[in-house]
Every structure is written in structure tokens, then in C-alpha cells.
């Protein structure tokens, strides 16, 4: 589950609820055209579903190491991030702009990006995802902070 320093991630798992379905679909197409191997765990259309179900699927696959990184989309990006962060080892960050996406990787080693389909369109979302995928974790002083997050997580799970 460590960072992807120096390696361009080419495998991703993605998921969304009904509000994020269209944006997720657009992102999957964009990523596949760029050569990414993308597993889409749903939803399969814009019919009403519960976002925690899809957040859990993506988070568990990332936490197990089946995929290095994941992308989740819901209406705001907030619900899926909250749900994903309940899975041990996940650092999901809601980033509806490029700079937040960059910082979530560089400083926090976020392993799941959460986007809000009601706040970003397909073009901006593409730039956000590209930035997030291309930004390495800086380590250094940030590693100590990420390690402290992991310690909090372990203490809370006892």
C-alpha cells in the first residue's frame, strides 16, 4: 500500500454511486485511452444506489493491495471519502480542484481520490485525476505525518 514514488500507476479501480455514474464513465474512457487498466466496480447506471457500497468495494481492493490506487465519484465526493476512510489503510481525499489533488498525493500519500460530480465537469475532472496520478508522494517530513495517521488508525481499531 505504499506510495507510487517513481512509478507511473497504470492500474486503477474506480467506483461511483448514481450521482457520479456519468462522470465516472467519462473518466474510465479517458483513462483507458491513456493506457490505464481500469476495473470499474459500479454502479452500472444512474439508478439510485447507496454510495457506501461502492466506496467499500474500491477501498477494500486498494487496502488489500489488489490495486495501488482508486478513484471514487459521488455527488460531492465527501460521502464516498468518508466511507472509504473506514477501511484500514485507506487515505481517501476529496479533491475537486487540481491543487487539492496534487497536495493529497504529495503530502498525504492519498491512495483514493474522491470527486464530486456536482462540482466538477468531465474536463476538469480529467485534469484533476491526471494531476493526482502523476504526483508522487514527497516523503520526508510528510512520511512522519502519514505514519502518525496509521498509528491513530491502529489505536482506534483495538
Q: Which residues are the active-site residues?
A: 74, 107
Q: Which residues pair with 114 in a beta bridge?
A: 72, 94
Q: Which long-range contacts (CB under 8 A, 24 or more apart) does 119-126 make?
A: 119/76, 119/77, 120/23, 120/96, 121/23, 122/23, 122/26, 122/27, 122/30, 124/97, 125/23, 125/26, 125/27, 125/73, 126/26, 126/27, 126/30
Q: Which residues pair with 51 in a beta bridge?
A: none
Amino acid at each position: 500500500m505504499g506510495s507510487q514514488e517513481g512509478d507511473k500507476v497504470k492500474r486503477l479501480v474506480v467506483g461511483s454511486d448514481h450521482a457520479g455514474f456519468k462522470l465516472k464513465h467519462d473518466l474510465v474512457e479517458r483513462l483507458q485511452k491513456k493506457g490505464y487498466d481500469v476495473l470499474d466496480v459500479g454502479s452500472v447506471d444512474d439508478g439510485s444506489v447507496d454510495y457506501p457500497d461502492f466506496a467499500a468495494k474500491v477501498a477494500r481492493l486498494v487496502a488489500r493491495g489488489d490495486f495501488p490506487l482508486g478513484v471514487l465519484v459521488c455527488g460531492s465526493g465527501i460521502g464516498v471519502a468518508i466511507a472509504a476512510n473506514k477501511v484500514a489503510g485507506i487515505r481517501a481525499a476529496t479533491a475537486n480542484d487540481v491543487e487539492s489533488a496534487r497536495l493529497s498525493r504529495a503530502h498525504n500519500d492519498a491512495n483514493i481520490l474522491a470527486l464530486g460530480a456536482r462540482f466538477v465537469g468531465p474536463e476538469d475532472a480529467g485534469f484533476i485525476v491526471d494531476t493526482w496520478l502523476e504526483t508522487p508522494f514527497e516523503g520526508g517530513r510528510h512520511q512522519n505525518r502519514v505514519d502518525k495517521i496509521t498509528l491513530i488508525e491502529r489505536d482506534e481499531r483495538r
